[in-house]
Every structure is written in C-alpha cells, then in structure tokens.
C-alpha cells in the first residue's frame, strides 16, 4: 500500500489494538509493505521539535550506542535516506552537507561526529533501535535513539538480549522468549514486519522514561473525569533486517489518543473496557494500571448505557 503524498501530511491514523477477549501474550506480527515502513503525519513538526530538544539537551537519556554499532548505524542511515527521498519527495530534500525537512523547516547537517543512528533518528518521527548478534550470542541492543520511551530507560537496556530487555514483562520469558529469539534469527531482509503495542497513560507526554510498576491509587482520576485524564498510547513497531550488517532495525512510532475520542463510539469503549478487565493482575501491575483502572472502567462503561 503506497502512502499518499498530499501537499499537507495526513492526520495520524487511529489504531485499536485491543480486543474484548481473554488475555493472550503474542507477538502479533504482520507483513509490512516496504513503502509503508516510515509514517509521516500532521504532527511531524511538533514531534520533530521535541526530538530535537531532547537530543540536544538530554542526549545521554535518549541516545546510546556500543562500540562496533557504527557500520550497522550507517547502513540504517543509508537505507532510511533512500526511502525518504523515494517515498516522500515533497517533504525531504538533500542539500550540500545535509538535509532540508520541508515540513518542519529544519536543516540537519551531516555531522560526522554523530553516530549514524543518531543522525537517522533526527530525520523522522520514529524512534530507532539496533539489535546485533555476536558469533556466540543472541541479538543484543547495540544502539538506540529513543526520545519517546514508554516507561523504560536506554541505559538499563543497552547491551541486553531480547529476554533481558523484556525481563520485567510478565509471561514474556515463558510464552514468547524462545519464539522471539527464533524469529530474530530467521527474519529475512526482504520480509519486514510490523506489530502494535498499547497501554493507557495519565499524561500525553511522549517522553516518559519512568513509572513502570506503580500501584498507588490516584484519587484525582475519577469516573467523571477519566476520559479527559487518560490517554491511549499505541506503538507501531516495525522490524527489518539490514542486509549487509545483518543487524535488525526496530522502529517505534508512538500515537496518543485521549479517551474522550471514544465518547461517541460505545463499541470501541466496550472493547477497551473488556481488554482491561481481561488483563492478568501481573500485567496490570507492570503496566501501572492500578492507579486509575477502576475509574477508567466506570467511565468506559457509562458510554454504553
């Protein structure tokens, strides 16, 4: 599916990756059309402004790389540059010594002092992570530019394999660990995939490195105001093999929707309420849903009455 190329970028898509069904831990991978790899929407300038501020002022919190990741980062940058110029010609232009981002008015210099993945992350709304395998070990996170984390910190994940990265996630090791490791080994360069992940947060802030495992109830969130106070946070993740380095590149694009968007959509509210009710206790705690869960359920239930 080719993306449209209008004069102005489209609004963000709306994803509802929750089902009113028993909870099941699954990878949920789908085949990805390569032209649909990177998404651009009307929030481009705002997202890029926040990324620019974080990368300039809080660099150590949003970027990290291990020695030896430079070649894979360079391959990522080259692949991304080719893609952006081919798919979004109205919005990206190559200039001597850098890039011009037409939607945000930015000029980004080809700074040789930057890690190539750092430079790549400055071109798009997505966060970028590189996983590389050694001769005698599993794939590990070797470089990451993550400005919009959902309650995790790069410093705690860098150098970790998939099972280490996801160690806090309930049921991951038992139900997904082996499958995920095997998938990383067999992913083909010409068969990229994508998946969705979701949670609900109490703030629309995109930069949220702290807060997993919260249990204290928030009395300021009530059945009357939960729709205004809570936000559906969806991550669109893509995975693709870099053919030369054999590294795997993750992109993570974060979308936020206030629950009030479902005010006139009782069927969506009912699906979300069912998904929340179906989550195991361990998952509720990990996702920090305890502080607001009952208020959210009351508010969502009221929409279908």
Q: How far, in Å, CA of 213 to CA of 299, rounded?
A: 23
Question: What phi and psi values does residue 240 have, to the nearest 5 degrees?
Answer: -145, 145
The Cα-based distances of 198 to 6, 90, 216, 237 in angstroms read 29, 32, 21, 11
Task: For the beta carbon of residue 251, count every other beta carbon within 10 angstroms.
Answer: 25
CA distances from 140 to 136, 162, 213 (A): 12, 7, 24
**pLDDT in the model for residue 2:** 53
Sign of CA dihedral 281, 272, 176, 161: negative
Task: Tell me the whole-structure pTM to 2 decimals.
Answer: 0.94
Please tell me the predicted confidence (pLDDT) of residue 24.
76
Domain residue ranges of the chain, discontinuous segments joined by +? 30-302
Going residue by residue through the chain (305 aa), what tens digit of pLDDT does each one get? 455 444 789 999 999 998 876 677 788 899 999 999 999 999 999 999 999 999 999 999 999 999 999 999 999 999 999 999 999 999 999 998 999 999 999 999 999 999 999 999 999 999 999 999 977 779 999 999 999 999 999 999 999 999 999 998 988 888 888 999 999 999 999 999 999 999 999 999 999 998 766 777 888 999 999 999 999 999 999 999 999 999 999 999 999 999 999 999 999 999 999 999 999 999 988 999 988 999 999 999 999 76
Integer Cα distance of 207 and 121 in angstroms: 15
CA 238 centroid distance within chain? 9
SS3 268: helix
Distance CA(248)–CA(239), nearest Å, equals: 7
Q: Within its chain, how far is the Cα of 293 from the centroid? A: 23
What pLDDT score was predicted for residue 146? Answer: 98
Degrees, nearest 5: CA angle 29-16-40: 75
pLDDT for res 4: 47
């Amino acid at each position: 599916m080719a993306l449209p190329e209008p004069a102005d970028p489209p609004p963000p898509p709306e994803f509802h990756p929750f089902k009113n069904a028993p909870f099941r831990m699954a990878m949920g991978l789908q085949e990805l059309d390569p032209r649909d790899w990177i998404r651009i929407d009307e929030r481009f300038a705002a997202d890029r402004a926040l990324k620019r501020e974080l990368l300039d002022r809080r660099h150590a919190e949003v970027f990290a790389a291990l020695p030896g990741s430079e070649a894979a980062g360079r391959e990522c940058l080259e692949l991304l540059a080719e893609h952006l110029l081919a798919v979004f010609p109205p919005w990206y232009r190559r200039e001597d010594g850098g890039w011009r981002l037409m939607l945000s008015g930015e000029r980004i210099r080809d700074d040789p002092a930057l890690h190539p993945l750092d430079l790549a992350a400055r071109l798009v709304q997505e966060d970028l992570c590189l996983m590389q395998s050694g001769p005698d070990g599993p794939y590990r996170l070797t470089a990451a530019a993550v400005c919009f984390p959902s309650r995790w910190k790069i410093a705690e994940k860098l150098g970790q394999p998939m099972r280490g990265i996801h160690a806090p996630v309930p049921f991951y090791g038992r139900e997904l660990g082996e499958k995920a490791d095997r998938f990383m080994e067999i992913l083909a360069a010409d068969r990229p995939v994508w998946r969705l992940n979701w949670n609900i947060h109490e703030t629309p802030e995109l930069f949220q490195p702290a807060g997993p495992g919260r249990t204290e109830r928030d009395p300021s969130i009530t059945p009357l105001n939960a729709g205004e106070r809570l936000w559906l946070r969806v991550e669109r993740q893509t995975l693709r093999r870099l053919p030369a380095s054999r590294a795997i590149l993750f992109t993570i694009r974060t979308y936020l929707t206030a629950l009030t968007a479902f005010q006139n959509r009782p069927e969506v509210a009912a699906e979300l309420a069912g998904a929340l009710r179906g989550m195991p206790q361990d998952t509720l705690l990990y996702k920090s849903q305890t502080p607001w869960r009952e208020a959210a359920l009351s508010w969502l239930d009221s929409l279908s009455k």
